[in-house]
Amino acid sequence: MKQRQKETISTWLYEEYRRLWIEKGQEPHKHNNREIVAAVMERIETAGIWLPEQEVTKYFYRRKTHYRNRIEKELQPKPKMQNKDSQTQKEQGAGSQ
């Protein structure tokens, strides 16, 4: 498999895994793995790439932990940042006392 094809297929696997995660509101169950690979195989065939399904499945299982970690990180609420001006004012106020 060429590097560009790997990157494209990895992106498609990630997108499908993420789509299912958001649709279900939680991490997809292992029974959904076939569904994910089948959807990506359709895209692969449409793109005219010849690749055995077994190879895509193996690749998906190797990358699944990476996808899970990436999605969990994306879905975490971001902490609110304090306004720098208000923090500077607090520091200046504390120094003048």
Over residues 27-48, the pLDDT tens digits come to: 999 999 999 999 999 999 999 9
pLDDT score, position 2: 80
Alpha-carbon gap, residue 48 to 50, rounded angstroms: 6
pTM: 0.75
Alpha-carbon gap, residue 37 to 57, rounded angstroms: 6
Alpha-carbon gap, residue 85 to 81, rounded angstroms: 12
**Nearest to 63, CA basis, from 23, 27, 9:** 9
Does pLDDT of 75 surpass 90? no
